């Protein structure tokens, strides 16, 4: 496939909202660090779990398909929910506490280490980063001290972030009880955005 054909195909799939392209959000433009993802959550689930399990189900081994889904679902859900969380927060912000946050995204370098789930900025590319944070979408338990420690360390790698940039968290199961987290949002908060 030629570069022209590939570019046209990717644009067509993007226009139909089958795929989406995400770029790291910071004060530095990093077009080469673009990530492509399946935009449709149902298709994403199908490709991750169902397609590879069809043969097992056809031969009466649905238990193998269920085991595969059970083993990988939490990790899949954590990644799949990130665009939904960002879209919800974009509906909630800017607000009184975050008046300069007009754009939300994530940040990662080319080698994907470290990766920061949430970056709140004035626009893209940013001239000012107002917040950095994490998304933890698990059934039970809040954000741990170790996860906040990791966020504080990883956040300083984001261009435009300093040690004084506020840390935030999104945790489906409840509020975060760590004083270093300036604000946290729950699943209920995100639902209220819609």
Distance in angstroms (rounded) separating the CA atoms of residues 3 and 16: 20
Q: How far apart are CA 55 and CA 95, in angstroms?
A: 50
* Global pTM value: 0.89
Contact criterion met (CB below 8 Å) for 51 and 68: no
pLDDT of residue 39 exceeding 80, the answer is: yes
Encode pLDDT of 147-156 as tens digits: 999 999 999 9
Give the pLDDT confidence score for residue 94 in this predicted structure. 97
Q: pLDDT of 51-86, one tens digit each?
A: 999 999 999 999 999 999 999 999 999 999 999 999
Sequence-distant (≥ 6) Cβ neighbours of residue 176 within 8 angstroms: 142, 143, 148, 169, 184
- Maximum CA extent, the chain: 57
Supply the pLDDT for residue 74: 92
**Residue 21 CA to chain centroid, in angstroms?**
12
Res 175 pLDDT > 80: no
**Tokens of residue 51, six digits:** 């397609």
Beta bridge partners of 171: 136
pLDDT confidence band for 31 (50 / 70 / 90): confident
At 111-149, the pLDDT tens digits run 999 999 999 999 999 999 999 999 999 878 889 999 999
- Distance separating alpha carbons of residues 119 and 98, to the nearest angstrom: 12
Q: Domain spans of the chain?
A: 3-192
Question: Is pLDDT above 90 for 101?
Answer: yes
Query: How high is the pLDDT of residue 119?
Result: 98
**Percentage, residues of the chain above pLDDT 70:** 100
**Average pLDDT, integer, range 101-105:** 97
In the predicted model, is pLDDT for residue 180 greater than 90?
yes
Contact residues for 38 (Cβ-Cβ < 8 A; gap 6+): 18, 19, 44, 47
Count of C-beta atoms within a 10 Å radius of residue 131: 23
Q: Is the pLDDT of residue 15 over 80?
A: yes
Give the Cα separation of 144 and 171 in Å (integer): 11
Q: How confident is the model at residue 36 (pLDDT cuts 50, 70, 90)?
A: very high
93-101: long-range contacts (C-beta < 8 A, 24 or more apart)? 93/120, 97/183, 98/130, 98/131, 98/183, 100/128, 100/130, 101/130, 101/131
Q: What pLDDT, on the 0 to 100 scale, is given for residue 140? A: 82
């Amino acid at each position: 496939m030629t570069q022209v054909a590939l570019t046209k195909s990717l644009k067509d799939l993007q226009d139909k909202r089958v795929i989406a392209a995400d770029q790291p959000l910071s004060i530095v433009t990093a077009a080469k660090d673009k990530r492509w993802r399946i935009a449709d959550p149902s298709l994403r689930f199908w490709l991750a779990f169902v397609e590879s399990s069809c043969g097992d189900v056809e031969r009466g081994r649905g238990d193998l398909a269920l085991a595969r889904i059970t083993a990988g679902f939490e990790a899949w859900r954590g990644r799949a929910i990130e665009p939904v969380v960002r879209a919800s927060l974009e509906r909630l912000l800017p607000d009184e506490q975050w008046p300069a946050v007009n754009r939300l995204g994530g940040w990662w370098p080319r080698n994907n280490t470290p990766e920061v789930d949430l970056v709140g900025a004035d626009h893209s590319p940013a001239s000012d980063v107002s917040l950095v944070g994490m998304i933890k979408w698990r059934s039970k338990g809040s954000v741990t001290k170790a996860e906040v420690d990791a966020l504080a360390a990883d956040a300083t790698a984001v261009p435009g972030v300093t040690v004084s940039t506020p840390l935030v968290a999104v945790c489906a199961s409840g509020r975060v009880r760590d004083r270093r987290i300036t604000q946290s949002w729950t699943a209920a908060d995100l639902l209220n955005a819609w």
